Every structure is written in structure tokens, then in C-alpha cells.
Amino acid sequence: METIIEFQNLEWKYENTKEFALKGINLKIQEHSFIGVVGANEQGKTSLLSAICGLIPHSFNGIYRGQVLLFGKPVREMDSLELATKVGLVFSDPEAQFTAMTVEEELAFGLENIGYSLSEIKERLEWAAQITMIEDLLDKSPYDISGGQKQRVAIACVLAMNPPIIMMDEPTSMIDPLGKRLIFDILRKLKEEKKHTLIVAEHNIEQLAPLADEMILMSDGQVVRHEPTLDFFTNPLYLREQGILPPECTEYTQWLKNEGYLTSDARLPLELDEATELILPLFQKKVVK
């Protein structure tokens, strides 16, 4: 697979702060992978995403050393229009980005700026609205809908631009439980389409883990772990030190292995369905006895 994002020893310090927020990041992300980014607050997750979409260094003052390449080209040398066609970022606070009177205008806004034809705009809008389940909101005011709906509109705005890299920064942190589920439904659909590289910072490990191909753990401005998701969650002690808990079903299955109920080569599950498949035969054995 092709590397489309590459950090080469990136260091970044916001002006008026003492410490560097990103301390020598080296990282490669492959095309069409789904990357989960976790870590406690203030460890550099948002800064990492900002360095990919170019907000760092273009929208902040600070010290920038090393570089980030998108499709082989330094982010630092790309203007905002070029960046917008490559990467989109959804923030945790959806309201911050709205400017139009209706949801439909909001979706069309970025596309008109780039100069797409009307028919192309229509096609992109329909796809984005459908995948985010907001078709019935198109003529509403973006201020007049629920928090979860606002977040889905914000996601649709990014999807409408159809950048190859889509990032979300704690997209469910301000949303009620039902709304959260819908956001993860969108992520699942995008993953199934396999057309985008997805990078999602999120505290909700239970939902994130089954979707992510690889996990990144940020701590004190560094990428301290970057591994395939299953490997990442098979060292719970290390994770717990960082305040991260594996999915409950992974932890429970690990316990069954440690206690000898499952063989040591049993593959750990990340999802309940997988766990059930593994654990159910244990119960059945018991009944037969």
C-alpha cells in the first residue's frame, strides 16, 4: 500500500507556550487505512490532525521544524485550496463552522468555491447527504437542528468536498448517545466504501476499536505507539497507565486466556459478535458435562 501521509521528525510549538506540542513525530499512514488516535487530553491529538490538514503551520504562529508530506508534497508548501482538495477535518464542535442559511447551501459552499459544475455539485451533495442521513434536513437552517444533526451536517460538508483523506477530531464528544451511534454508522459506511483514508481521534474505544485498522497513542506530544489495532490492545497494562481501556470484550477474553479457559493462541476479539463466537463454545462444553 502507498504511503500518503508522512511525518518527518515534525516538531511544533505554539507561540507563547513553553513546551513543544509535537516533539519529533515520525509517522507513515497508508492509503485507505482507518487510523484511530487516542490519548489523554492535551497530549497532542488535535495538533497531530492540525499538522496533517495544514492548520499547523498555516493558521497558527509558532515554531515548525521537520515536515509533513501529503502525497509526497510538503504541507507547508500547499495553499488552502490545494489542501482542501486533499484533506478535510471535522471538529468536535460542529456549530463553529456554519455560515449559510440552509443546510443545502452550507454543503454547496465549499464546492462553489472550488468551481465545480452544477451537476457535479448536485451529485456530490446527494452522496454526502445520503451517507450522513441528512436528506430530510437540507432546507432547514443549520442552527435549527439538534447537536447530533449538526455534527452530521458538518461531516456531510467535508464529504461533499470528497477529499481522499477525511479526519474527525472527537466527533462524538458533544453529542447524545443515539447521535454518537449515527456518527459511528457513518464511519462504518465510509470504511466499507474503502475510498478514503480515515483518521479519527476519539475517546470512545468500544466503538472505535472494531473500525480501526491501526491505532496511534499520543502522549506528551509524541506518538508512543502505532500498531495494528489488535496488537495495540493486547498490552492492557501499558494502556491503562495512559488512561486507555481496551474494549471490554477484548479484556474479558484476555482474562479467559490468562486463566486457561481459552488456548493461548486464541485470537482476541475487538467486537462483541467475535467474542461471542469465541466464548459460546465454553458454555456449551459446560452443559454437556
Ligand X SMILES: Nc1ncnc2c1ncn2[C@@H]1O[C@H](COP(=O)(O)OP(=O)(O)O)[C@@H](O)[C@H]1O
Where does this chain bind ligand X (CB under 6 A)? 14, 17, 21, 39, 41-47, 218
Q: Decide whether 47 or 253 has the Cβ nearer to ligand X.
A: 47
Distances 233 to 187, 223, 229 between C-alpha atoms, Å: 20, 16, 6
Q: Tell me which residues in 30-69 interact with Mg ion (CB under 5 A).
A: 45-46
Q: Decide whether 59 or 130 has the Cβ nearer to ligand X.
A: 59
Phi, psi for 5 (deg, rounded to 5): -130, 130
Phi, psi for 143 (deg, rounded to 5): -90, -10
Q: Give min distance, CB of 43 to Mg ion, in A.
A: 8
Q: Give min distance, CB of 194 to ligand X, in A.
A: 27
Q: Give min distance, CB of 160 to ligand X, in A.
A: 26
- Comparing every residue's Cβ against Mg ion, the nearest one is 46
CA-to-CA distance for 251 and 162, rounded, in angstroms? Answer: 37
Contact 131, 99 (CB under 8 A): no
Q: Give min distance, CB of 45 to ligand X, in A.
A: 4
DSSP helix/strand/coil, 82: helix
Q: Decide whether 124 or 225 has the Cβ nearer to Mg ion.
A: 225
Q: Give min distance, CB of 46 to ligand X, in A.
A: 3
Triad 170, 101, 127: Cα angle to 5°? 60
Q: Give min distance, CB of 143 to Mg ion, in A.
A: 24
CA-to-CA distance for 88 and 41, rounded, in angstroms? Answer: 22
Q: Decide whether 46 or 162 has the Cβ nearer to Mg ion.
A: 46
Non-local CB neighbours of 285 within 8 Å, separated by 6+ positions: none
Helix (H) or strand (E) holding 169: strand 165-169
Contact 118, 105 (CB under 8 A): no
Tell how strand 214-219 and strand 165-169 pair up.
unpaired
Q: Decide whether 41 or 99 has the Cβ nearer to ligand X.
A: 41
Q: Decide whether 10 or 161 has the Cβ nearer to ligand X.
A: 10
Give the interface with Mg ion as residue ranges (CB under 5 A): 45-46
